[in-house]
Amino acid sequence: MGKGPGLYSDIGKKARDLLYKDYQADHKFTVTTYTSNGVAITSTGIKKGELLLADVSTELKNNNITTNVKVDTKSTLFATVTVDEPAPGLKTIFSFIVPDQRSGKVELQYQHEYAGISTSIGLNANPLVNFSGVVGNNCVSVGTDLSFDTASGNFTKLNAGLNFTQSDLIASLTLNDKGDTLNASYYHIVSPLTNTAVGAELTHSFSSNENTLTIGTQHALDPLTTVKARLNNYGRASGLIQHEWRPKSLFTISGEVDTRAIEKSAKVGLALALKP
């Protein structure tokens, strides 16, 4: 099976990751350990101002079946079971949240050389039905993302997208919020050797006639250290530096400042992820 167009969620993903991934204003600490029978246990703590949030998750892989169970400080349990390729190109995902009895959901993903389809349905009397599909190839693809609420009989989501990919450039255009928001993004690899890339995202709201433009870049100082920066048209500038001080263990420090109100204190976020 060829690479294909991927799923609808892949449209614009490279630009989104460049502009938003790993930026944060909180303090986050993550530790992953492995038991002798291969179970991965991950503990996460996040400090949001004076609020401290934490969760513990376990992940077990058995052949093509992955089971993930997470419990947070509110005693909410999140469970996901993923069956990878029960048939070529197919993935099945079953998830639910306890004690939310309406949260059960089954999702099917199918990726082909010229198409990518994802559909899900809630496991309750009046389920929410989601469907997204992309057709095309490695260069050009178009797709749609729909959600239908059987309880109200209304579409809760109506999105459409277009993706254009070359060897070093990805351009995307999506229409979201039932046609109210137009989003255009651009991602360009400047130098593969130093992982240098630039990206931009322009969002236009038809209802408010407002535009939001965000531009950003990333660069690898060395094979283990990456820096990123971004700026939007409202004057918010952000930057981060991420260092892989041992394999799969990352230390990230990020900050944001409002250039139109320098007198306000900057936001600083720290993230430490430890893996054996």
Q: How far is CA 110 from the centre of its chain?
A: 19
Contact 61, 38 (CB under 8 A): yes
272: number of CA atoms within 13 Å, CB side? 7
The pLDDT value recorded for residue 265 is 80
- Please report, for the chain, the start and end positions of each structural domain, with discontinuous segments joined by +: 8-274
Q: Are 172 and 184 in contact (CB under 8 A)?
A: yes
pLDDT at position 266 is 87
Residues 247 and 227: beta-carbon distance below 8 Å:
no
Q: Indicate the pLDDT class of residue 181, thresholds 50, 70 and 90.
A: very high
Residue 86, helix vs strand vs coil: coil
pTM of the model: 0.91
Residue type, 244: E
Task: Indicate if the pLDDT at residue 3 is higher than 80.
Answer: no
Question: DSSP of 16-67, one letter per residue?
Answer: HHHHHTT--SSEEEEEEEE-TTS-EEEEEEEEETTEEEEEEEEEEEETTEEE
Cis peptide before 99 (omega within 30 of 0): yes
CATH superfamily of 8-274: Porin (2.40.160.10)
Model confidence at 68: pLDDT above 90: yes
| pLDDT interval class at 252 (50, 70, 90) | very high
Look up residue 83 and give its two tokens: 């069956």
Work out the number of other CB atoms within 10 angstroms of the CB of residue 172: 23
pLDDT in tens, 204-250: 999 999 999 999 999 999 999 999 999 999 999 999 999 999 998 99
